[in-house]
A = this chain, B = another copy of it.
Amino acid sequence: MEQVKNKQILLNNYVNGFPKESDMLLNDSATINLNLPQGSNAVLVKNLYLSCDPYMRIRMTKTEGSYFEPLTPGSVGTRLYNVFIDPVSLSLRVSGKRVPISGFGVAKVLDSWHSNFKNGDLVSGVTGWEEYSIISAPEALIKIEHTDVPLSYYTGILGMPGMTAYAGFYEICAPKEGEYVFVSAAAGAVGQLVGQFAKLSGCYVVGSAGTKEKVDLLKNKCGFDEAFNYKEELDLNATLKRYFPDGIDIYFENVGGKMLEAVLPNMRLNGRISACGMISQYNLEQEDGVRNLFLMVTKSLRMQGFIVGDFYHLYPKYMEMIIPLIKQGKICYIEDIAEGLESAPAALVGLFYGRNVGKQVVVVARE
């Protein structure tokens, strides 16, 4: 029995308002046995890359109105948080034992009796914020087949954010050539892809982000037609009118609140809004009220919220599309890589201050 140290990041307390590094805790004293008992259905993995995603904030508050409350019987199996995430694993204790924060990641199989997985396999899916994890329901893991692209991409363009951009843009917004597309939080893990998908679809696309650096990246690296720093704009409604004199057909909503309120008057007839997140709202005691919803009626707008877990049946189709685009250099993906498990709390917190430029990844180990 090979017993080794296993550093972990634990949730220290439930979060109020903006998350702080001190809401999380490095546990230096845990150990793990690197051999599974014979016949185990679990797999033991070494974590390589961990994903920092805005939705994780929601799971750090003990409220009933969270992602997990609205589950209804019969629909359980198709939800992201059931297929991929164990809802209790972010809670402080499970049967008296502290468990690490969980989230998407890329890992290497170190031990497995499971017929689907053998030692050395690379997998992506939900894992723990720790050096080694025992994945008790490995059926939810995706085996990584293409290893000639950066492995960290499986937390981003080839993982949940990629699927979010793909499902939200193509499936929900049903873009047509020549349409006008606006993407908020455009330099994030999802937004940068939506903008590039929009260009591939022959659309005109403008993105908003929170720094000049991000705005420049959107225009110069991701091919957005225009981008602006929303923090420098006093009147978002007027800003959007300037960038979209003819209005917006598709709004890819990552932000919510005042941004949504400013977008509605600028939407065109029969416009579509796909909403996969509303990051501006996660740290508020009470959500902002959004005005201008009557424009949904007068402009025949459709707003569709979605959870990417409902679209994972399209993952193979998405891979067929995206892998060649990456290899041909027709799509780029900006990552913000934090080194070491210790850096994970700061990296996660940084999302809510817009510190990340591109997809926020934490490297635990490179192989």
Question: Chain A: residues with CB nearer than 8 A to chain B?
Answer: 65-67, 70-72, 75, 79, 246-247, 256, 260-261, 265, 267-270, 275-278, 281, 286-307, 310
Contacts and interface: CB of A to CB of B under 8 A. Distances in A.
Contact of A293 (B246, B256, B269, B276): B256
B287 A288 contact: no
Contacts of A247: 70, 72
Given A71-B269, A291-B288, A292-B287, A277 B305 contact: no
The 10 closest A-B pairs by CB, nearest first: A289-B289, A296-B305, A297-B305, A287-B291, A303-B303, A302-B304, A70-B299, A278-B294, A67-B298, A301-B305
A79 B270 CA distance: 11
7 contacts: A65-B295, A70-B247, A70-B267, A70-B269, A260-B293, A302-B302, A302-B305
A261 B293 CA distance: 11
Contacts of A71: 269
A246 B79 CA distance: 18
A206 B275 CA distance: 28
Interface of chain A, main secondary structure: loop
Q: How many copies does the complex hold?
A: 2
Nearest to A277: B297
Contact of A294 (B75, B256, B289, B291): B256
A79 B300 CA distance: 10
A66 B265 CA distance: 11
B289 A297 contact: no
A296 B288 contact: no
B289 A299 contact: no
A307 to B, nearest CB: 6
A236 to B, nearest CB: 15
A281 B304 contact: no
A310 B306 contact: no
A186 to B, nearest CB: 18
A310 B303 contact: no
Given A302-B303, A305-B299, A293 B310 contact: no
A198 B66 CA distance: 30
Nearest to A278: B294
A305 to B, nearest CB: 3
